[in-house]
Structure 1
């Protein structure tokens, strides 16, 4: 009977150890995923800043590359459409 309890105690200890290890691994994975998300957000911010700088140069006529010009033209058209849409919202609100 003592062997049974010793074996049971050993198995419980092994299971607890395995669960502890899995929990540590899960926490470490979540920590790494958090760091990855943080790095990606930093890259996204830098890319947005870079895009703004290129767009600012476009507006000043300082961009010679036609690929950039096409993208900037598209952005400019969308900005104009956004402005029209916002004016439409104001107009609709005034009619209410």
Structure 2
């Protein structure tokens, strides 16, 4: 996108780390939703389909997490560093024009 348009729309504030964290949070939400759906299904056929989808959602979450760790965007084992990243992401999100 054109830098002028990025600035006008506020998209210049969507840095890779913000986008990646949003993707990770959505992946976690998908895992949670599939897991809940598995416990609510009425037939074995539906349960099998949902279990397959849950497995795929877990695989996607793992890939996203690994990418973020490898690129320094996520520090699941270094809490102080992760807290600082989260605070930076919050500040960036708050500065995006609405």
**What interval of TM-score do these two structures reach, taking the shorter chain for normalisation?**
0.3 to 0.5
TM-score, normalised on structure 2?
Answer: 0.33
Larger helix proportion of the pair:
1
Q: Higher RCO, 1 or 2 (CA under 8 Å, sep at least 6)?
A: 2
TM-score, normalised on structure 1?
Answer: 0.34
For the pair shown, the structure with the greater C-alpha radius of gyration is 1
